[in-house]
């Protein structure tokens, strides 16, 4: 079964053709980052307009790359939630039109379920049940993946997402949007013990909180500026990265131990972080866990992961009709 999948929830317009949920036939991602960089973050209206401008070309290119006739696809899938409403609506409207014109089923996919599915593309042997840490720009969850379409969240951020904390701290340090990748790069050159940053406490044992950490970074930068002290940015990056990755791994691995999961996965944009990947591998080896990390090209937003999850949604009978709408906030 070949599914044509569309993703437009934030600042990437993407289309992929995926066979039987596991084989990516073609994948195209058009990033808007350069346009949003000017404003220090994603501007929702600009995102919607840019998706509108390029979605036809992105879909055409993905079909051309797959070397098939568009009428040969078996279904159309689309990210319908969560995300920026004006951005989601472009993908949803396009997918509805395409499914109707081709008379094919329409499969709505939750963006975070898509991120979780990204590991299925890289690892043919990965099957539920397992425990997944989802770390993106908008979400930080520890999720029990009980089955392909059956999820149970056991921990979540009570304020900022991990990627959001990275981007906001990076902005205060003077890096362009999105700053996560810059902190990651400069962290490798610094001394992680130079600046002490707080490990925030949460009521829920497996919940996260990153806004206090972000505020500490901002306050530390201001204090140095006011006192005229020189700030060692590389070491601040290293301290921040070590703090975030320790918080994420401490909670994730203790949840795995508590719930008895041997099989673990990480997904989402922040899964590309070199410090997180390294620490997670160390902990997994220490605790004898099997750890699945997505390849770097599948960490950030893409449509291949949507096409992958769509296959399992289809098998589970989760299709939509032409009344499908986009939803900005929706739980897993």
Q: What are phi and psi of 258, to 5 degrees?
A: -60, -45
CA distance 161 to 82: 14
Residue (86 or 99) nearer to ligand KG4, CB: 86
Would you count residue 270 as binding ligand KG4 (CB under 6 A)? Answer: yes
Nearer to Zn ion, 16 or 197 (CB): 16
| Peptide bond just before 97 cis, omega within 30 deg | no
Spell 316-328 as b/e; 16+ CB within 10 A means b: eeebbeeebebee
Q: Which of 86, 190, 268, 294 binds ligand KG4 (CB under 6 A)?
A: 268
301 binds Zn ion (CB under 5 A): yes
Choosing from 301, 309, 324, 326, the residue that interacts with ligand KG4 (CB under 6 A) is 301
Contact partner at residue 270 from Zn ion, ligand KG4, none, CB < 5 to 8 Å by partner kind: ligand KG4
Q: How far apart, in whole angstroms, are the C-alpha atoms of residue 91 and residue 119?
A: 23
Among 8, 136, 235, 309, binds Zn ion (CB under 5 A): 136
Residue 156, classed as helix, strand or coil, is: strand
Q: Decide: helix, strand or coil at residue 293.
A: coil
108 makes contact, choosing from ligand KG4, Zn ion, none, with CB < 5 to 8 Å by partner type, with none
- Give CA–CA dist 2/106, Å, rounded: 13
- The window from 89-97, 131-139, 191-199, 321-329 that contacts ligand KG4 (CB under 6 A) reads 131-139
CA–CA distance, 87 with 177 (Å, rounded to integer): 19
Q: Strand 23-31 relative to strand 75-81: parallel, antiparallel, unpaired?
A: unpaired
**Residue 180: which of Zn ion, ligand KG4, none does it interact with, CB under 5 to 8 A by kind?**
ligand KG4
Residues 134-163 that bind ligand KG4 (CB under 6 A): 136-138, 163
Q: What is the binding site for Zn ion (CB under 5 A)?
A: 136, 301
Q: What is the binding site for ligand KG4 (CB under 6 A)?
A: 10, 136-138, 163, 166-167, 178, 180-181, 184, 268-270, 272-273, 300-301
């Amino acid at each position: 079964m070949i599914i044509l999948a569309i993703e437009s929830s934030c600042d990437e317009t993407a289309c992929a053709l995926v066979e039987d949920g596991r084989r990516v036939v073609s994948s195209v991602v058009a990033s808007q980052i350069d346009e949003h960089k000017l404003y220090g973050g994603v501007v929702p209206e600009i995102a919607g307009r840019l998706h509108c401008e390029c979605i036809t070309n992105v879909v055409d290119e993905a079909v051309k790359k797959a070397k098939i006739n568009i009428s040969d696809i078996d279904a159309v899938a689309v990210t319908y939630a969560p995300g920026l409403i004006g951005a989601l609506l472009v993908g949803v409207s396009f997918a509805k039109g395409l499914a109707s014109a081709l008379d094919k089923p329409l499969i709505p996919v939750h963006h975070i379920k898509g991120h979780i599915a990204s590991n299925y593309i890289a690892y043919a042997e990965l099957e539920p049940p397992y425990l997944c840490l989802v770390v993106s720009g908008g979400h930080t969850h520890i999720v029990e993946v009980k089955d392909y379409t059956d999820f149970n969240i056991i921990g979540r951020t009570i304020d900022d997402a991990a990627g959001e904390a990275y981007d906001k701290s990076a902005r205060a340090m003077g890096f362009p949007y999105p700053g996560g990748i810059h902190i990651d790069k400069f962290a490798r050159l610094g001394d992680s013990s130079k600046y002490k940053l707080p490990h925030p406490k949460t009521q829920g044992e497996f919940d996260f909180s990153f806004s206090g950490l972000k505020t500490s970074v901002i306050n530390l930068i201001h204090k140095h500026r006011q006192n005229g002290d020189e700030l060692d940015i590389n070491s601040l990056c290293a301290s921040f990265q070590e703090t975030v990755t320790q918080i994420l791994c401490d909670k994730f691995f203790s949840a795995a131990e508590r719930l008895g999961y041997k099989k673990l996965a990480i997904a989402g944009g922040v899964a590309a972080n070199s410090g997180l990947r390294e620490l997670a591998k160390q902990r997994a080896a220490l605790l004898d866990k099997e750890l699945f990390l997505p390849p770097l090209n599948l960490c950030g937003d893409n449509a291949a992961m949507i096409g992958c999850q769509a296959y399992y949604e289809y098998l589970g009978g989760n299709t939509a009709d032409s009344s499908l709408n986009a939803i900005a906030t929706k739980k897993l």
